[in-house]
Amino acid sequence: MLKPKKNLGQHFLRDHQVLHKIALSLRASEEDEVIEIGPGEGALTDYLYPEYRHLHLLEIDRRAIGFLNKRFPNATVHHSSVLDADWEIVTEAKGNKYIIGNLPYYITSPILFKVLDSGGFFEQAVFMIQKEVAERLVAKPRTKAYGILSVQTQLFSEPELLFTVSREAFQPRPNVDSAVVSLLPFKEKPDVDIAFLKTVIRTAFNQRRKKLSNALSGLITDHSRISVDLSKRAEELEPGEFVILARSLK
Ligand code: SAM
């Protein structure tokens, strides 16, 4: 058993019913390639290993590598940070790609963005994340949880909050409750300069209580070209309206 390292987000899930339910949430078939982020001691891997012939385990903690290799001899263990991993190299470019993991919470957003930015490389992602972040991913306009993460996630994928998990299910117990989400990344990205789209979303939400005409004043050069109602606030716009806005601002 690994002595948990807080700086690596190591909260090990001990509830076998929950582990099984997470594994069952992945809609991959036996021949598909599955990446697991942060297998740790292999609690979730135990449920994935019998199901998938092409399983890749990405773990940063050197202490776990030998154990994982021994316990899961047919899986490919990568001693690497998920943030440095090149998806093309990790997998063998054969079957459809899936990704799953009880994420290390200190890097939830960078992992989400890395998966969303990969342009439909994955058919599905199943992640356990903080409940509060999960609620933001699926939030609708005009709610408190709706923000940058909601808009970007919903523009690049179809997110679903599958179920919540109590903090009591972990060892050591984290300070937050968790939730399992499924993301179905879209094959096509929105037809717009993506970096600029992100700038528009970020700028609009930086002053979410202000009208867009004020919040985006630094980006607007010609009001007549803009078909989105600029008297609205960022939190009132549907995700798709940000694409229209970015196109007309460019
Ligand atoms: N899968 C195990 C479970 O369900 O009990 C462990 C989950 S624990 C919340 C997160 C895991 O991610 C830990 O094993 C940790 O070492 C690993 N991890 C942390 N940072 C990582 C990174 N940058 N890249 C890959 N794995 C990482």
Over range 220-232, report the average pLDDT. Answer: 85
Q: For a pLDDT cut of 90, what percent of the chain falls above it?
A: 88
Residues near ligand 1 with C-beta < 6 Å? Answer: 8-13, 37-40, 43-44, 58-61, 81-83, 102, 104, 107
Mean pLDDT to the nearest integer, 85-89: 86
pLDDT single digits (tens) 88-145: 877 776 789 999 999 999 999 999 999 999 988 999 999 999 999 999 999 999 999 9
Q: What is the per-residue pLDDT for 94?
A: 74
The pTM of the full predicted model, rounded to 2 decimals, is 0.96
Q: Can you give the pLDDT at residue 93?
A: 62
Per-residue model confidence as pLDDT tens digits over 6-50: 999 999 999 999 999 999 999 999 999 999 999 999 999 999 999
C-alpha 103 – ligand 1 centre gap (Å): 6
Ligand 1, residue 12: give the atom nearest the CA: 5
- Among the atoms of ligand 1, which is closest to the Cα of residue 81? 24
Among residues 140, 249, 170, which one has the least CA distance to residue 204? Answer: 249
DSSP per-residue codes, the chain = -PPPPGGGT--EE--HHHHHHHHHT----TTSEEEEE--TTTTTHHHHTTT-SEEEEEE--HHHHHHHHHH-TTSEEEES-TTT--HHHHS-S-S-EEEEEE--GGGHHHHHHHHHTT-S-EEEEEEEEEHHHHHHHTPPTTSTT-SHHHHHHHHHEEEEEEEEE-GGGEESPPSS-EEEEEEEE-SS--SS-HHHHHHHHHHHHHTTTSBHHHHTTTT-S-GGG--S-TTSBGGGS-HHHHHHHHHHH-
Average pLDDT, the chain: 95
pLDDT score of 220 = 84
Average pLDDT over residues 75-90: 91
Probe residue for ligand 1, chosen from 47, 61, 65, 127 as the CB with the greatest number of ligand atoms within 8 Å: 61
Q: How far is the CA of 166 from the centre of ligand 1 (A)?
A: 18
pLDDT for 223 beyond 90: no
What pLDDT is stored for residue 95 in this prediction?
A: 84
CA-nearest residue for atom 6, ligand 1, is 40
For a mutational test of ligand 1's pocket, the pick from 20, 35, 59, 165, i.e. the residue with the most ligand atoms closer than 8 A to its C-beta, is 59
pLDDT in tens, 41-68: 999 999 999 999 999 999 999 999 999 9
Q: What is the mean pLDDT of residues 216-245?
A: 91
